[in-house]
């Protein structure tokens, strides 16, 4: 992996119903009123870094000084980490997450996390774009044809995302969107905004991993890397109904994945009446985006605007998107970048 690249308690119910008026209500009608009257569950973001030992921002983001030369087809791992074989040995079924997956090894003993299903292509694209603008990402590759031995009979092997275990790092645990050492920084706000631009509506902290440098690894690598993984719920449209956002129901009908019509239909951001960004995002954990400033959005869009159409096209080509869909996705990404940059002039 290239060393200079980055790889609450909720509010209680406040239904406010007059019990006398509710005596004749059916159970279903009472529940509906309760749902509509429930206060939104809000989370206060908190920076957990302790002075004077402030967590270096390099553990989240590294300035992409060579952004216009980056190869978004091979991505952060380059050719070095790409699978050198199409034959793998079964280790276990991965039961975590919404997509079918496996843990496998190759003939060299390299361990791989394999994901199949609709999330494969958008995850590879979004991972490459986040890496290109400075955020740590693990290598990820699209493998269209592969075989699996040693597992239960009938295990399907459709096109998949292959992510290698990094020899220099171990996964230390998860990190929270709402409590972490980077809350309040422009980089953290930019990370949230970038996920919104690419329509990643799955803001679960279980997708966030802390990678810790193993003893003996290259000393110029960050001691820790805070990474947003499992980015497959992207490049579609967030569409969770307001009634479900109000009640804190997170997983119900949250949006689409790899959906060009939805991605084209949904906007990105505009300037709100309060002078803060107003996002078109309609998924869960809306309060996370409320913490993003105009400066954070513009800063991120300035970085993303430095990527060429060729580079963005290469990110989609790496995920085996057909050329016609690629052109539409790239065009809409450009338009959303322009929406973010427009905030800069809207404030003056």
Over residues 123-139, the pLDDT tens digits come to 999 999 999 999 999 99
Opening angle at CA 176, ends 62 and 111, nearest 5: 70
> Among all chains, which residue has been given the structure tokens 């967590």?
55
Q: What is the pLDDT of residue 9?
A: 26
Strands 179-180, 160-164: pairing kind: unpaired
Asked if 138 and 128 touch (Cβ cutoff 8 Å), the reply is no
> Among all chains, which residue has been given the structure tokens 């190869």?
71
Q: Which two tokens stand for residue 209?
A: 């991993």
pLDDT for residue 266 is more than 50: yes
Q: What is the 3-state secondary structure (H, E, C) of the chain?
A: CCCCCCCCCCCCCCCCCCHHHHCCCCHHHHHHHHHHHCCCCCCCCEECCCCCCCCCHHHCECCCCCHHHCCCCCCCCCCCCCCCCCEEEEEEEECCCCCCEEEEECCCCCEEEEEECCCHHHHHHHHHHHHHCCECCCCCEEECCCEEECCCCCCCCCCEEEEECCCCEEEEEECCCCEECCCCCHHHHHHHHHHHHCCCCCCCHHHEEEEEECCCCCCCCCCEEEEECCCCCCCCCECCCHHHHHCCCCCCCCECCCCHHHHHHCCCEEECCCCCEEECCCCCCHHHHHCCCHHHHHHHHHHHHCCCHHHHHHHHHHCCCCHHHHHHHHHHHHHHHHHHHHHHHHCC
Asked if 254 and 202 touch (Cβ cutoff 8 Å), the reply is yes
Q: Which two tokens stand for residue 141?
A: 């590759």
Closest listed residue to residue 256, CA positions, set 278, 279, 280, 232: 232
Interval 310-317 mean pLDDT: 98
pLDDT band at 219 (very low <50, low <70, confident <90, very high): confident
Q: Which two tokens stand for residue 213?
A: 């440098």
pLDDT for residue 275 is more than 80: yes
Asked if 234 and 257 touch (Cβ cutoff 8 Å), the reply is yes
**pLDDT, averaged across the chain:** 85
Q: 102-111, 211-220, 329-338: lowest mean pLDDT where?
A: 211-220
Asked if 254 and 284 touch (Cβ cutoff 8 Å), the reply is yes
Q: What is the pLDDT of residue 285?
A: 86
Interval 82-105 mean pLDDT: 89
What's this model's pTM, rounded to 2 decimal places?
0.85
Q: What is the pLDDT of residue 7?
A: 55
């Amino acid at each position: 992996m290239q060393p200079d690249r980055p790889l609450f308690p909720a509010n209680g119910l406040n239904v406010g119903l007059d019990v006398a008026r509710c005596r004749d209500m059916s159970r279903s009608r009472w529940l509906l009123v309760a749902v509509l009257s429930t206060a939104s569950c809000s989370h206060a973001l908190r920076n957990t870094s302790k002075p004077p030992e402030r967590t270096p921002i390099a553990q989240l983001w590294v300035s992409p000084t060579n952004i216009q030369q980056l190869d978004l087809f091979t991505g952060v791992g380059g050719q070095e980490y790409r699978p050198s074989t199409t034959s793998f040995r079964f280790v276990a079924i991965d039961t975590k997450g919404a997509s079918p997956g496996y843990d496998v090894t190759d003939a060299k003993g390299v361990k791989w996390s394999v994901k199949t299903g609709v999330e494969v292509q958008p995850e590879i694209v979004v991972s490459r774009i986040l890496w290109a603008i400075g955020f740590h990402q693990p290598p990820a590759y699209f493998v269209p044809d592969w075989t699996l031995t040693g597992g239960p009979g009938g295990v399907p092997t459709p096109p998949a995302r292959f992510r290698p275990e990094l020899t220099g790092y171990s996964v230390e645990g998860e990190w929270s969107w709402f409590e972490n050492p980077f809350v309040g920084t422009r980089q953290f706000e930019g990370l949230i905004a970038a996920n919104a631009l690419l329509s990643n509506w799955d803001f679960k902290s279980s997708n966030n991993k802390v990678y810790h440098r193993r003893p003996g690894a290259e000393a110029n690598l960050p001691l820790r890397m805070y990474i947003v993984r499992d980015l497959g719920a992207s490049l579609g449209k967030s569409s969770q109904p307001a009634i479900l956002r109000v009640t804190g129901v997170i997983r119900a009908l949250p949006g689409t994945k790899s959906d060009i019509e939805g991605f084209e239909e949904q906007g990105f951001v505009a300037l709100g009446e309060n002078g803060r960004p107003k996002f078109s995002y309609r998924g869960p954990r809306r309060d996370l985006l409320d913490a993003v400033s105009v400066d954070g959005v513009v800063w991120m869009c300035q970085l993303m605007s430095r990527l060429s159409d060729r580079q963005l096209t290469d990110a989609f080509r790496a995920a085996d998107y057909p050329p016609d869909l690629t052109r539409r996705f790239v065009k809409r990404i450009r338009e959303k970048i322009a929406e973010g940059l427009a905030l800069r002039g809207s404030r003056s």
